[in-house]
Amino acid sequence: MKEMFDRTYVLTFAQKLLAIDSPSGYTHHAIAFLKKEAQTLGYKTALNEKGNLLIYVSGASSEKTIGLSAHTDTLGLMVRSIKESGTLALTTLGGPILPTLDGEYCRIITRSNKVYSGTILSTSPATHVYPDAASVPRDLEHLEVRIDEMVKNKEAVKKLGIANGDIVAIDPKTTVTENGFIKSRFLDDKISVSVLFGVLQYLRKHDVKPNYDCIIMISTYEEVGHGASCMPKEVSELLAVDMGCIGLDLDCTEYDVSICAKDSSGPYDYAMTSHLVKLAQKHDLHYALDIYPFYGSDVSAALRGGNDLRGALIGPGVHASHGMERTHYEALEQTMQLVLAYLCEA
């Protein structure tokens, strides 16, 4: 694989972003990090009212404005209630695969900015005590948080400042292997944000201008369905960069850029999708053209929000989405090359 982009920059950036807790509704720290990095690279930025970051890239022509998006909000949990035992009942932010959470470390973030560590456990966590320890369902009624504090009842938890509605952020457990695999929760979609910043860094380093003015939106509510529902009016087409699906009868692998023809929200723009396929073929990229059966994107949200634009969806192949995810740097490189071609070639 011929690498055009700065592998060290992209992987270091990804690790920094993945380390910032940002479940839907609690993304301000991640957005602040991204805003600072974009400005360091020399780009103008702004925030819309819902907290999405807008990054402005000047093109060779202002005849039209191209939009790109990726989302920095992730799956997570919230305190539903405090149990009399001193453990925490939960509600989901987005759709994590709940059985994968049993035994995971987490952080409880209060509204006064106190942070406590804990562990997500089954309500029957010990095989020496509970006969159903292996068989009890791993669902919201049977998962709870054990707080790493000396609390034995509800009142003691309240005295810590923990309350209903507090964020419970799951440890991403990020690992980058020597042979190029990136293993972590929340590659969906922080790895695509890293892809877009890899492209931004390339444009600045090599003094390359896109054909047209661009606005890159980093959205903050994609996992709950309305991330890019409000786009700047000047954007006439939107390319969402989000994880590519792997499994069932899909062709995508962890080494490919995936191009989505249709997901649960319907087909993507035929002309844009066809153009992306032609660009992938022209540059001999490892790509897959697939249908995502249980998926929606920022383009889906933008169209449902009434924005008058056309849209397409691509992204690096990610295995085990909404669980313990994995991709490979090769997929990132393929995706960055396709994004660059989309921006700079007719």
pLDDT in tens, 257-266: 999 999 999 9
H-run or E-run covering 80: strand 76-82
d(CA 292, CA 200): 28
Q: What is the pTM of this model?
A: 0.98
Whether residue 46 is predicted with pLDDT greater than 90 in this model: the reply is: yes
CA distances from 42 to 2, 45, 207 (A): 27, 10, 12
Residue 1: the pLDDT is 64
Residues with catalytic roles: 222
Q: Is the pLDDT of residue 94 over 80?
A: yes
Query: Among residues of the chain, what percentage have pLDDT more than 70?
Result: 100
Q: Can you read off the two tokens belonging to residue 346?
A: 């007719």
